[in-house]
Amino acid sequence: MNARTRLTLAMAIAAAFAGSAQAAQNTLSGWAVMPANTFADGPTSGQFAGSGAGGNPLPLIDKQPVQGFSGVLAGANGSFRVITDNGFGSQGNSADTLLRSYALNVDFRTALGGSGTVSAADWNTGASLPAFNSASRITLSDPNNLLSIKIQADYTHYYNNAANPLVDASIKSGRLLTGADLDVESVRQDKNGNLWFGDEFGPYLVKTDANGVVQRREIALPGVFAPQNEAVLNGSVSSNLGGSGGFEGMAINASGDKLYTLLEKTVTGDPAKSLRINEFSIDSESYTGLDYLYQLENEGTAIGDMTAIDDHRFLVIERNGGTATSGTPFKKIFIADTTGVEDGGFVKKTELVDLMNIADPYDLNGDGSDVFTFPYVTIEDVLILDANTLLVINDNNYPGTGGRDFGSDHTEFLKITLANPVPEPETWALLLAGLGLIGFAARRRA
Question: What residues contact 257, with CB distance under 8 A and at least 6 apart?
Answer: 190, 191, 281, 282, 283
CA distances from 59 to 53, 256, 398 (A): 11, 40, 12
Is 4 within the bounds of a domain? Answer: no
CA distances from 235 to 138, 145, 190, 239 (A): 35, 24, 35, 10
Question: What residues contact 407, with CB distance under 8 A and at least 6 apart?
Answer: 36, 54, 55, 401
Q: What is the pLDDT of residue 438?
A: 41
Is 148 within the bounds of a domain? Answer: yes
Q: What is the pLDDT of residue 329?
A: 98
Helix H or strand E encompassing 145: none
Is 411 within the bounds of a domain? Answer: yes
Q: What is the pLDDT of residue 275?
A: 98
Q: What is the pLDDT of residue 24?
A: 66
Is 401 within the bounds of a domain? Answer: yes
Q: How far apart are CA 92 and CA 95, in angstroms?
A: 7
DSSP state of 214: B
Is 437 within the bounds of a domain? Answer: no
Q: How far apart are CA 340 and CA 332, in angstroms?
A: 24
Q: What is the pLDDT of residue 442?
A: 44
Ranges under pLDDT 50 in the chain: 1-23, 425-446
Helix H or strand E encompassing 291: strand 286-295
CA distances from 19 to 23, 27, 408 (A): 6, 18, 42
Q: How far apart are CA 143 and CA 212, in angstroms?
A: 11
Q: What is the pLDDT of residue 56?
A: 97
Q: Give, in degrees to the nearest 5, the angle at Cα 238 between 234 and 241.
A: 115
Distance of CA 144 to the CA centre of its chain: 28
- Cβ atoms of 149 and 178 within 8 Å: the answer is no
Residue 260, domain extent: 25-419
**Three-state DSSP state, 266:** coil
- The pTM (predicted TM-score) of the whole model is 0.90
Phi, psi of 159, rounded to the nearest 5 degrees: 60, 20
- Cβ atoms of 310 and 301 within 8 Å: the answer is no
Amino acid (one-letter) located at 225: F
Task: Give the β-pairing of 302-308 and 313-319.
Answer: antiparallel
Phi, psi of 139, rounded to the nearest 5 degrees: -125, 130
Q: What is the pLDDT of residue 14?
A: 40
Task: Give the β-pairing of 313-319 and 274-281.
Answer: unpaired
Is 136 within the bounds of a domain? Answer: yes
Question: What residues contact 113, with CB distance under 8 A and at least 6 apart?
Answer: none
Q: How far apart are CA 370 and CA 153, in angstroms?
A: 50
Is 444 within the bounds of a domain? Answer: no
Helix-helix angle 427-445:3-23, to 10 degrees: 140
Q: What is the pLDDT of residue 424?
A: 57
CB crowding 170-209: b at 16 or more within 10 Å, else e = ebeebbbbbbbbbbbbbbbebeeebbbbbbbbbbbbbbbe
Q: How far apart are CA 321 and CA 400, in angstroms?
A: 13
Q: Other CB atoms closer than 10 Å to residue 421's CB: what's the count?
A: 14
Q: How far apart are CA 6 and CA 235, in angstroms?
A: 69
Is 372 within the bounds of a domain? Answer: yes
User: Which CATH number covers residue 327?
Assistant: 2.115.10
Please tell me the total count of domains within the chain: 1
- Cβ atoms of 88 and 396 within 8 Å: the answer is no
Q: How far apart are CA 89 and CA 367, in angstroms?
A: 29
